[in-house]
Amino acid sequence: MRLFDERQPFQGIDAIEANEAVRIDDLERAVNEELNLLGIGWPMATRYDRSVIYRPTQGTVRVEVCPLQPLEEQFATELNLRFQPADPLIRVWVLPSQPRPHIGMTWQHYPIDGVSGADLFRRILSRYLGTPLDLASTATEPFMPDLAVEFQKYKTLRWKLRDLVETIEELYRISKVYPISRPKPEGTQLRVQLLELPHPPRPAGATTNDVIAAALLASLADVLPERERRHWQRGVNVMNFVDLRPFGGEPLRRAWGLFLGFCVFHLPDPQPADFAACVESIRKQSMRIKDGQLFFGSVDAFTAYRMVWPWIPRRWSWTLPSQLTPFSAALTNTRHRKEWSSGALGAAFGRSWRVAPLGNIVSLGVDVCTKGNQLSIALTTEAPSKMHSKMSDFLPRFEARIDGRKRV
């Protein structure tokens, strides 16, 4: 059997800027009290299978004060520091940066997704401030819904036939995507680059996510001119992750675990003449996906991946998925609601960051975090790699398109 960190060899990070010195003992107490109260115990990977267990007896998660380094480097250090089978799958750390320190929580992606991770981080910070959250209000309530019941409407013959047609059409579009070459992970390190930007101007009906996805696709197309030499695989696309909880009924909204799907946005061919037309194309794709809830088809894709993956030879397990189903990049969007930017949390903390995992499907991860007026973006690549070598050209184009006030 594969170890858990071979199947999901990556972790995510939630981090926040503190407006005053961090009380390490109080933070450590809040971390462990919250884990114990939630009943999720000490999450650990079992050594010889692909599951996660929770220790019945509680351990202690220590808060580490990290050596001073730039925030980008701290994020990269955490991404490259793998959890071991005997470790709790959560690390909490403090970076004594100036003028303000940062508190971070690194979590292994195997037992939870970004929604559960962000909610746990908020609970820890609230308890640290002396304003603990009610247990019933959180996604980390120790409750597992019956998914067969929650998703019953998506199992009818009509939905299955529709998903089959959509899957065939999507596989055809993906077959035309340019596969970005990737090195084997043994010879690389993950690198993170951060952007702090104003919220982009949005055309009527478009969302911030639409604008960022369009900027991502257009900028990738700019820096990959070699794809034009190919007759078939010339396309550019982005995998956009979607939280399934809002579509599964009230019980699922409070579930602790991993409940993600994804949709795929494609850059039109031929490429739109201007950026506004590109945003409009993504807006239409987004509306079609939302109206039909087409992202539920990705649940079957994940299921197939889980079934096939253990049989892929170890030497191919990193490169084969990106060749068979090439995705140019992955996009996540963490929206911190008003409770993050008001009250006790708003007074004690500043800018937030999310750095999500980069796995064996994409060569570029783009993680957006919005909170009030802030827009933070973390971009993760492997170094050395083809995509990493393109970043000096990619970043100014991407930033200019989102900003709206700069020329590409």
Overall average pLDDT of the 225-233 stretch? 91
User: Is the model's pLDDT at 237 over the cut of 90?
Assistant: yes
* Cβ within 8 Å of residue 66, ≥6 positions away: 74, 77, 93, 94, 95, 96
- Taking all residues of the chain, what is their mean pLDDT, rounded to a whole number? 86
Overall average pLDDT of the 231-242 stretch? 93
Task: State percent of the chain over pLDDT 70.
Answer: 85
- Among 3.40.640.10, 3.40.50.720, 3.30.559.10, 3.40.50.300, name the CATH number for the domain at 4-137: 3.30.559.10
Backbone φ and ψ for 182, nearest 5 degrees, come out as -135, 145
pLDDT of residue 2: 34
- Nearest 10 degrees: CA dihedral of 105, 189, 331, 44? -40
Treating both helix axes as pointing N-terminal to C-terminal, what angle do 208-223 and 275-292 enclose, rounded to 10 degrees?
Answer: 120
User: Is the model's pLDDT at 39 over the cut of 80?
Assistant: no
Say how far residue 193 (Cα) sits from the centre of its chain: 15
- Nearest 10 degrees: CA dihedral of 383, 121, 329, 273? -120
pLDDT of residue 5: 45
Q: Pull the structure tokens for residue 28.
A: 């450590």
Q: Who wins on pLDDT, 33 or 245?
A: 33
What Rg value do the Cα atoms of the chain yield, rounded? 21
Question: How confident is the model over 364-401, as pLDDT tens digits?
Answer: 999 999 999 999 999 999 999 999 999 999 999 999 99
Measured from the Cβ of residue 178, the count of other Cβ atoms closer than 10 Å reads: 21
Residue type, 392: S
CA distance 356 to 118: 11
CA distance 286 to 41: 38
* Cβ within 8 Å of residue 110, ≥6 positions away: 4, 5, 7, 8, 45, 52, 89, 258
* Maximum mean pLDDT: which of 5-9, 183-187, 280-284, 308-312: 280-284
Overall average pLDDT of the 181-185 stretch? 82
Q: What residue ranges do the domains of the chain occupy?
A: 4-137, 147-403
Residue 112: half-sphere exposure toward Cβ, Cα within 13 Å: 30
Confidence of residue 49 (pLDDT cuts 50, 70, 90): very low
Which phi-psi region, left, alpha or beta, contains residue 57 (left: φ > 0; alpha: ψ -120 to 50)? beta
CA distance 122 to 342: 13
Nearest to 67 by CA among 95, 100, 42: 95
Residue type, 279: V
46-60, 209-223, 284-298, 302-316: least confidently modelled range: 46-60
CA distance 128 to 121: 11
Q: Pull the structure tokens for residue 109.
A: 């992606």
Say how far residue 104 (Cα) sits from the centre of its chain: 16
Q: Who wins on pLDDT, 285 or 144?
A: 285
Question: How confident is the model over 359-371, as pLDDT tens digits?
Answer: 767 889 999 999 9
How much is the pTM?
Answer: 0.90
Measured from the Cβ of residue 354, the count of other Cβ atoms closer than 10 Å reads: 23
Q: Pull the structure tokens for residue 130.
A: 């002396």
Rounded to whole angstroms, what are the CA distances from 228 to 77, 171, 178, 235, 276? 36, 20, 9, 9, 23
1-5, 15-19, 22-26: least confidently modelled range: 1-5
Rounded to whole angstroms, what are the CA distances from 52 to 49, 86, 88? 9, 11, 10
Backbone φ and ψ for 11, nearest 5 degrees, come out as -140, 165
pLDDT of residue 3: 39
Nearest to 257 by CA among 91, 139, 147, 125: 139
pLDDT of residue 160: 79
Q: Do 4-137 and 147-403 agree at the fold level?
A: yes
Q: Are 253 and 245 in contact (CB under 8 A)?
A: yes
CA distance 53 to 41: 9
- Domain 147-403 sits in CATH at 3.30.559.30
Burial readout 151-168 (b: 16 or more C-beta within 10 A, e: otherwise):
beebeeeebeebbeeeee
CA distance 156 to 152: 7
Q: Who wins on pLDDT, 84 or 102?
A: 102
Question: How confident is the model over 57-72, as pLDDT tens digits?
Answer: 667 889 999 999 999 9
Nearest 5°: the CA angle 37, 147, 264 is: 105
